A and B are shown apart, each in its own frame.
Chain A
Amino acid sequence: MDVLEVNAKTTHEAIEKALAEMGVSRDEVRITILNEGKSGGIFGIGAEDARVRVERLMAEPVPSSDVAVVATETLQKLLTLLEVEGVVSPAVYPDESSEQPTAPVAFNIEGDDLGILIGRRGQTLAALQYVLRLIVGHKTETWVPIIVDAEGYKERRHEALKALALRMADHVKTRGSPFTLEPMPPYERRIVHLALADNPAVYTESIGEGESRKVVIRPKHPSSGPRGNSISNDQRSTVSNQWGNSLGQRSNTPGQWGNTQSQRGNYSRPRRQPPNY
């Protein structure tokens, strides 16, 4: 059963009913509300049922392989134009989060002297990937994540960042004080956030804007650190200010750490879930 139209008193009920009948979860379907429904007047006169259409979304192997073909050709063309000699081969990108509905199309470029293609902190590689996504997106009129790696740079970086994140989390746990990593591009911050997402002792957040945005690893229970009592009280108030102030009120107690910039970052964005990459 791939499409189902269901009537019920409210749209919510109708959707629940349809999902139950089809035996699928909400992310696997597209929901169209055909009629919002009306509750009607006295005695329910003029009431209308809500009506929704629920369609099961197909896994789309066909378009995604089209994308792979177009992407391969485009990437090869770009490399030729850049006069970079490299062999493009498909790759599997390690990504722990399987939230994405479509698997990324990933490439690895092998060749001599690809340092120039990677650029400082992978900047050139990021530009190449961005342009490739744009072109493929324009040509195929779909959006599939494409990942371009060169000589396994990103994969190495991924492992290195994970190791760094775990090491620093340990450090934060034993010291009881936060640690700020150096500025990183979004996908690298994401790796750190994901690596520590389930860590019982610490949580992560990003502060700063643009190029200088960086990850801070903070202890979940600041008072359990080996510091003195007065400090941990301050810490507790800082933490509760951060958590309670997502509406943007300025806290009266200045944070113990965190300059004005990190404060701004904190209350303009509610903390975690989903994390700010």
Chain B
Amino acid sequence: MKDLVEYIAKSIVNAPDAVKVTEEQDEQGIILKLQVADEDKGRVIGKQGRIAEAMRTLIRVKAAKKGTKATLEIL
């Protein structure tokens, strides 16, 4: 799960080295936490959260294949 978010985030920010993704598991499913450089926040959230929403949609596909749920938080 982590690698997908990491790949997308690193490909769209200006400071890929500052991208960190952590993965946690609770009874609801997987929680992915994405951290980027401050100036790149807009690049992973997007206008009206459109980019974040697109990433969530893709994560859901992968989670559904594994029979679980996943959420994405941007820190």
Residues of A in contact with B (beta carbons under 8 Å apart):
74, 77-78, 81-84, 116-117, 119, 123-124, 126-128, 130-131, 134-135, 138-139
Q: Whole-angstrom distance between the alpha carbons of A135 and B55 in the complex?
A: 12
Supply 24 A–B pairs (Cβ within 8 Å), ascending by A.
A74-B11, A77-B7, A78-B4, A81-B7, A81-B62, A83-B62, A83-B65, A116-B64, A116-B65, A119-B57, A119-B61, A124-B57, A124-B58, A127-B54, A127-B58, A130-B50, A131-B8, A134-B11, A135-B8, A135-B11, A135-B12, A138-B11, A138-B12, A139-B11
B31 CB–A CB distance under 8 Å: no
Residues from chain B with Cβ under 8 Å of A77 in the complex: 7
Q: Name the one of A74, A119, A131 contacting B55, with C-beta atoms under 8 angstroms.
A: A131
Complex CA–CA separation, A128 to B61 (angstroms): 11
B51 interface hit (Cβ, 8 Å): yes
CB distance from A5 to the nearest CB of B (A): 37
Interfacial chain A residues near B3, Cβ < 8 Å: 81
Complex Cα spacing A124 to B55, Å: 10
Q: Are B58 and A128 in contact (CB under 8 A)?
A: yes
In the complex with contacts A81-B3, A81-B4, A127-B54, A134-B12 CB distance below 8 A: yes
Starting from the known contacts A82-B58, A117-B61, A130-B54, 12 additional A-B residue pairs (CB-CB under 8 Å) come to: A74-B11, A81-B4, A83-B62, A83-B65, A84-B65, A124-B57, A124-B61, A127-B53, A127-B57, A128-B54, A134-B12, A139-B11
Number of A-B contacts (CB under 8 A): 54
Interface core residue of A74, A117, A119, A134 (most chain B CB under 10 Å): A134
Q: How far is the CA of A82 from the CA of B4 in the complex (A)?
A: 7
A138 cross-chain contacts in B, Cβ below 8 A = 11-12
Bitwise interface map of B from 48 to 75 toward A, beta carbon under 8 Å scored 1, else 0: 0011011101101110110000000000
User: Which one of B4, B55, B58, B64 has the greatest number of beta carbons of chain A within 10 Å?
Assistant: B58
- Which residues in B have their C-beta under 8 angstroms from that of A128? 54, 58
Task: Specify which chain A residues have a CB less than 8 angstroms from the CB of B60 in the assembled complex.
Answer: 124
CA distance A84 to B53 in the complex (A): 20
Bound CA span A236–B11, Å: 54
Residues on B with beta carbons closer than 8 Å to the beta carbon of A123: 57
Task: Report yes or no: A116 in contact with B51, Cβ–Cβ below 8 A.
Answer: no
Q: In residues 27-44 of chain B, which contact A (Cβ within 8 Å)?
A: none
Distance, CA A78 to CA B12, complexed state (A): 14
Docked Cα-Cα span, A82 to B51, in Å, equals 17
User: Given B51, B64, B65, which contacts A134 in the complex, CB threshold below 8 Å?
Assistant: B51
Cα A117 to Cα B62 in complex, Å, equals: 10
Contact assessment for A131 and B64 in the assembled complex, using a CB-CB cutoff below 8 Å: no
Q: Collect the chain B residues with CB atoms within 8 Å of residue A124's CB.
A: 57-58, 60-61
Distance of A117 Cα from B12 Cα, bound (Å): 22
Residues of chain A lying within 8 A (CB to CB) of residue B4: 78, 81-82
List the A side residues contacting B51 at CB < 8 Å.
Answer: 130-131, 134
Q: How far is the CA of A124 from the CA of B3 in the complex (A)?
A: 18
Contact, CB under 8 Å: B65 / A131 = no
User: How near does chain B come to A86, taking the closest CB pair, in angstroms?
Assistant: 12
